[in-house]
Chains A and B, each alone.
Chain A
Amino acid sequence: MDFASFLIQTLNSLQYGLLLFLVASGLTLVFGIMGIINLAHGSFYMVGAYLAFVLSSATGSLVMAIVLGIPLALVFGAILEWALFSHLYKRDHLEQVLLTYGLILIFEQLRSLLVGDDVHGVAIPAFLDASIQLTEVMSYPVYRLAISAVCVALAVALYYVIQRTRLGMMIRAGNDDRSMVESLGINIDMIYRVVFALGVALAALAGMLAAPISSVFPNMGSQVLIISFVIVVIGGIGSVWGALVAALIVGFADTFGKVLIPELSGIVVYVVMAVVLLWRPEGILKKG
């Protein structure tokens, strides 16, 4: 592999890993703090991608679609938490899995009714629709760099909120001991709602950002869901930074796996997961 190809694959790995981080960070927070196994989390990615398609068709701009789509996703998440998920916290995992699996079917059916089953493309915003020439024949799309930049900015923002604000302290504390947080008079219901809505919005944003690259198609949430669970497990349940490290590992393993050993590319990520779990059964950054 020459240097230009290596550089391109590295950038692709980063972009893919960072995008997965957006999905997995919400999943790990909801799992860690509320104890909820949310199989419908991948659907939020799908919802985001379809929002990008519908809204950018209506407004003529992906940027506009994202600006409108994020508040919609936040409200959607808050309502969903209030109506359904808030009843699951004290239930066992089987009931959680049943409800959230049912939600996948409902979301897919609604998607089919509202938008249809065709594959759709979403246009890259004009100002990002360019490529950087690396060699005479190879170039790298600016849009993919923009995705990585947005994801890095969000990871920094998430770091700030979780490490430096009182809300973040409460979120981390909730991850340690929910009932103690509640005993201190902190409205844990509100924390749950905020975290859930944030997780939905992050996953939806990932779907919106990915829409122009991957296109928009039925069941696109399920692939992302499985890989996101792999990331949550590798990173350590509840650890956002573990999810970041794990998402990058998965991004590199998947991208380079496809290039270097294409005949085994389907299993590379799972081999990596097995190796990490043999080394650290609790995940990379499971808190001590």
Chain B
Amino acid sequence: MSNMLLEAKEIHTYYGASHILHGIDFNIREGEGIALMGRNGMGKSTLIKSMLGLVRPRHGRVLVRGDDRSRARTWQIAQQGIAYVPEGRGIFKSLSVRENLLMSARAGVDGRREWTFDRVMETFPRLGERIGNGGWQLSGGEQQMLTIGRALMTNPDLLILDEATEGLAPLIAMEIWRIVKEIRKTGIATVIVDKNHGAVTSICDRAMILVKGQVVFDGSSDETRAQPELIQTHLGV
């Protein structure tokens, strides 16, 4: 078994008085791909934010590479090789495309620098055409490529994509999935939240389904696909 990268144990998170996560356990190992599924408002983004220290869980623990990081700052957790591409993308509009990429560049936890500026440019040729443009001048798809590229510049061991294809045209979304598959092949672990269940289960080895802040299913992607009623019950609209 490869090593554990990120774990959540018995996480309870609240937004004010509303209880969002009800004792969630989560774990991901090196190189693993997990599709985190569930309808809107079931706690997927909150789970991610709770593990990254962006939201503080009221109970439970967060472990990064086996060490308790429940009280760590977000940047300390990110420096452990965890890169986050948030819902709504979060590109820096005052920075050019080049600067968005350069500002986050650093070596990975083990000191490797596989993802350089040039490699990100090769992976996302469209960004190369926009390199001097300001962040605000990009289309939705280009912004998404930029945030994924920016996350890769940190040479992460785990890439978390929250709604990466939300609001993108189908062709652009397909392009994003193709690139995510390429990234998966390099051995980077991924957690993907997306509405396109077919695409995510084909990219990931494992699927987890959240309903009202609890894990109702945790199994391999094959098991998930073998039970269409799972999707129907918990994810259907």
Question: Hey, which chain A residues are within 8 Å of B94, CB to CB?
Answer: 172-173, 175-176, 287
The residue in chain B whose Cβ has the minimal distance to the Cβ of A170 is B103
* A183 contact from B84, B93, B106, Cβ within 8 A: B84
6 A–B pairs (Cβ distance < 8 Å), ordered by A = A166-B103, A173-B95, A182-B78, A183-B86, A185-B79, A188-B75
A92 within 8 A of B: no
Contact A183 B74 (CB under 8 A): yes
- Per the 8 Å Cβ criterion, residues 55-94 of B in contact with A are 73-75, 78-79, 82-84, 86, 90, 92-94
Assuming the contacts A183-B78, A187-B75, asked whether A287 and B52 have C-beta atoms less than 8 A apart, the reply is no
A-B CB proximity, top 4 nearest: A185-B78, A169-B103, A180-B90, A173-B92
Contact B52 A180 (CB under 8 A): no
Q: Shortest distance in angstroms between B105's beta carbon and chain A's nearest beta carbon?
A: 8
Annotate A186-207 by CB proximity to B: 1 below 8 A, 0 otherwise: 1111000000000000000000
Contact B136 A288 (CB under 8 A): yes
Question: Hey, which chain A residues are within 8 Å of B79, CB to CB?
Answer: 185
* B92 contact from A166, A180, A188, A288, Cβ within 8 A: A180
> How many Å lie between the Cα of A177 and that of B78 in the bound state?
16
B174 within 8 A of A: no
Q: Shortest distance in angstroms between A183's beta carbon and chain B's nearest beta carbon?
A: 5
Q: Shortest distance in angstroms between A50's beta carbon and chain B's nearest beta carbon?
A: 36
* B93 contact from A169, A176, A179, A185, Cβ within 8 A: A176
Q: Shortest distance in angstroms between A92's beta carbon and chain B's nearest beta carbon?
A: 15
> How many Å lie between the Cα of A186 and that of B95 in the bound state?
16
- A contact set with B: CB distance below 8 Å: 166, 169-170, 172-173, 175-177, 179-180, 182-189, 287-288
Question: Hey, which chain B residues are within 8 Å of A186, CB to CB?
Answer: 75, 78, 103-104
Question: Hey, which chain A residues are within 8 Å of B75, CB to CB?
Answer: 182-189
> How many Å lie between the Cα of A189 and that of B92 in the bound state?
19
B54 within 8 A of A: yes
Contact B93 A184 (CB under 8 A): no
What's the count of A-B pairs with C-beta under 8 Å? 68
Contact B95 A179 (CB under 8 A): no
Contact A189 B95 (CB under 8 A): no
The residue in chain B whose Cβ has the minimal distance to the Cβ of A166 is B103
The residue in chain A whose Cβ has the minimal distance to the Cβ of B75 is A182
B102 within 8 A of A: yes
B154 within 8 A of A: yes
> How many Å lie between the Cα of A173 and that of B101 in the bound state?
11
The residue in chain B whose Cβ has the minimal distance to the Cβ of A288 is B136
Q: Shortest distance in angstroms between B138's beta carbon and chain A's nearest beta carbon?
A: 13
Question: Hey, which chain A residues are within 8 Å of B95, CB to CB?
Answer: 169, 172-173, 176
Contact A173 B103 (CB under 8 A): yes
Question: Hey, which chain B residues are within 8 Å of A170, CB to CB?
Answer: 103
Question: Hey, which chain B residues are within 8 Å of A184, CB to CB?
Answer: 75, 78, 83, 103-104, 150-151, 154
Question: Hey, which chain B residues are within 8 Å of A185, CB to CB?
Answer: 75, 78-79, 82-83, 104, 106, 154
With A166-B102, A179-B74, A185-B75 known, 19 other A-B pairs at CB within 8 A are A170-B103, A172-B94, A172-B95, A172-B99, A177-B90, A177-B92, A180-B86, A180-B90, A180-B92, A182-B75, A183-B78, A183-B90, A184-B75, A184-B150, A185-B78, A185-B82, A186-B104, A188-B75, A287-B94
Question: Hey, which chain B residues are within 8 Å of A173, CB to CB?
Answer: 92, 94-95, 100, 103
Question: Hey, which chain A residues are within 8 Å of B73, CB to CB?
Answer: 182, 189
Contact A176 B78 (CB under 8 A): no
Q: Shortest distance in angstroms between B197's beta carbon and chain A's nearest beta carbon?
A: 26
> How many Å lie between the Cα of A101 and that of B104 in the bound state?
36
Question: Hey, which chain B residues are within 8 Å of A177, CB to CB?
Answer: 90, 92
Q: Shortest distance in angstroms between A161's beta carbon and chain B's nearest beta carbon?
A: 14
Instruction: Identify the interface centre among A169, A179, A185, A187: most chain B CB within 10 Å of its CB.
Output: A185
> How many Å lie between the Cα of A163 and that of B74 in the bound state?
26
Q: Shortest distance in angstroms between A185's beta carbon and chain B's nearest beta carbon?
A: 3
> How many Å lie between the Cα of A166 and that of B136 in the bound state?
20
- Per the 8 Å Cβ criterion, residues 145-164 of B in contact with A are 150-151, 154
Assuming the contacts A185-B75, A185-B78, A185-B79, asked whether A179 and B103 have C-beta atoms less than 8 A apart, the reply is no
Question: Hey, which chain B residues are within 8 Å of A182, CB to CB?
Answer: 73-75, 78
> How many Å lie between the Cα of A259 and that of B89 in the bound state?
52
> How many Å lie between the Cα of A172 and that of B93 in the bound state?
9
> How many Å lie between the Cα of A186 and that of B84 in the bound state?
13
Assuming the contacts A177-B90, A184-B154, A185-B154, asked whether A169 and B78 have C-beta atoms less than 8 A apart, the reply is no
> How many Å lie between the Cα of A177 and that of B136 in the bound state?
13
> How many Å lie between the Cα of A189 and that of B72 in the bound state?
13
